[in-house]
Amino acid sequence: MGESLKAAIDWLFQPTIYFLGSAALLAAVLYFRKIFSRPIWMVLFFSLGSVFLVWALGDPDFKKIMTKPDNVPIVILLASVIFLSWLALRQAVLNDERTKRGEPTLEAELGRKKVFTWPDLVYTEFICIILFTALLVIWSIEVAAPIEEPAASARTPNPSKAPWYFLGLQELLVYFDPWIAGVVLPGLMIVGLCAIPYLDTNPKGNGYYTFNERPFAVSFFWVGFILFWVSFVILGTFLRGPNWSFFGPFEYWDLHKLEPLVNVDLATYFWVDLLGTPRPDNPLVREAPGLLALLGYFLVLPPLLGKTLLRKLFAQMGFMRFNIFMHFLLWFGLIPMKMLARWIFNLKYIVGIPEWFFNV
């Protein structure tokens, strides 16, 4: 029974099912937020989670990956993200119900009263600091900081992993070349985060938890932070082994696990499979279908959407804001689209010009 359960969990955690399942779960939580914001879910999560951990740590492969010293913070991250997301959702649901009944939000009600920093704020900070100090000291006594063999530039470990907080980006390398996964996307992420206050023109939801007053903004950040950042970090840390192959949480990290590489460029699909001719030599001609698709995606789609589906949004945001917002959104959308294309069509590159290192 135990072995088949482990096999089932390993199967569940393969990247496609893991990603699509998390996306579906996230959508369900946000849609049925009234149900999921009940405290019983957190009781269930933490009690079942502890039972699962105790059981699973009996497995040598699971234990090896979970108790690696540098992986401990990721378990903390997972638990705190789930708990705090629930806490935020609960307060949002309660506030939305208050607003519906015509009452002020909890923050507005409490905000009328001012209290002294000493002692009301100072003691909260003090207790937080004491608790964190205790946590750090116990953690430091229990778990020694890792130190491996001395640096040797001739011996490459397999897998070679970046520090854990960059593993989400390293996971993107499965689908994109380094110039996109390692430079353009992180760069856009930083600029995009900076742009948020200037793109979000909705004056509501300033200074209190809410969902109904800014459903798109909250959903968007949940998807970005939880699905594309935290869950990717977890995927890259726990589920990627030698050669960046996928390994289930209970699977042995076999150096010789074979993963067939059958990925095909869009150009091959177009010229060879569709037209039955060999691929042209001139890279620009060869990649014309992919280039046209990308141009259409980035240059035609925003004005088209602004005139049709998103007319209201366009009117609300204005020309500049709308176009900047759409370009961030389209770059972001490129990630799941490329992932799906890889899983369904084994698509390697939309545009592949290795001569110029220009592969998308």
Partner 1 sequence: MQKLLQAVRNTQLWRSVFRHGYPDTPRNRTLAVLSNTFLHLHPVKVRRSGIRLSYTWCMGGLTFFLFLVETITGLLLMFYYRPTAEYAYQDIFGMREHVPLGIMRELHRWAAHMMVITVWLHMYRVFLTGSYKPPREFNWNVGVILLVLTLLLSFTGYLLPWDQLAVWAITVGSNMARATPFLGHEGPGASLLSFGGLNFVHAGDDARFGLLAGRFVGEGALLRFYVLHCVGLPLAAATLMAIHFWRVRKDGGISGPL
Residues 302-321 that bind partner 1 (CB under 8 A): none
Q: Which is nearer to partner 1, 9 or 353 (CB)?
A: 353
Nearest to 353 by CA among 304, 280, 250, 263: 280
Nearest to 301 by CA among 269, 325, 265, 335: 325
CB of 351 to partner 1, least distance (A): 10
Q: Which is nearer to partner 1, 7 or 295 (CB)?
A: 295
Which element (helix H / strand E) includes 131?
Answer: helix 122-142
Residues in region 109-128 near partner 1 by CB under 8 A: 109-122, 124-125, 128
Residues in region 184-223 near partner 1 by CB under 8 A: 184, 190, 193-194, 196-198, 200, 203-210, 214, 217-218, 221
CB of 183 to partner 1, least distance (A): 5
Give 140's contacts (C-beta < 8 A, 6+ positions apart): none
Options 92, 93, 317, 347; binder of partner 1; rule CB under 8 A? 92
CB of 117 to partner 1, least distance (A): 4
Span interacting with partner 1, options 57-65, 151-159, 252-260, 292-300, rule CB under 8 A: 151-159
- For every residue of 216-247, DSSP letters joined together read HHHHHHHIIIIIIIIHHHHHHHHSB-GGG-B-
Q: Which is nearer to partner 1, 144 or 261 (CB)?
A: 144
Q: Which is nearer to partner 1, 55 or 221 (CB)?
A: 221
Q: How far apart are CA 291 and CA 350, in angstroms?
A: 8
Nearest to 249 by CA among 73, 65, 76: 65
Give 310's contacts (C-beta < 8 A, 6+ positions apart): 322
Q: By rule CB under 8 A, what count of residues binds partner 1? A: 97
Residues in region 221-260 near partner 1 by CB under 8 A: 221, 225, 229
101 contacts partner 1 (rule: CB under 8 A): no
Question: Could you tell me the sign of the dihedral formed by the alpha carbons of 119, 121, 122, 126, in that order?
Answer: positive
Q: Which is nearer to partner 1, 3 or 148 (CB)?
A: 148
CA atoms within 13 A on the CB side of 310: 16
CB of 176 to partner 1, least distance (A): 10
Span interacting with partner 1, options 34-42, 49-57, 176-184, 294-302, rule CB under 8 A: 176-184
| Residue window 339-358: x/- pattern of binding to partner 1, with contact defined by CB under 8 A | ----------------xxxx
Q: Which is nearer to partner 1, 194 or 258 (CB)?
A: 194
Place of tokens 């076999």: 254
Options 27, 88, 313, 329; binder of partner 1; rule CB under 8 A? 88
Place of tokens 């849609």: 31
Beta bridge mates, 352: 359
Helix intervals (H) in 178-230: 178, 185-199, 215-222
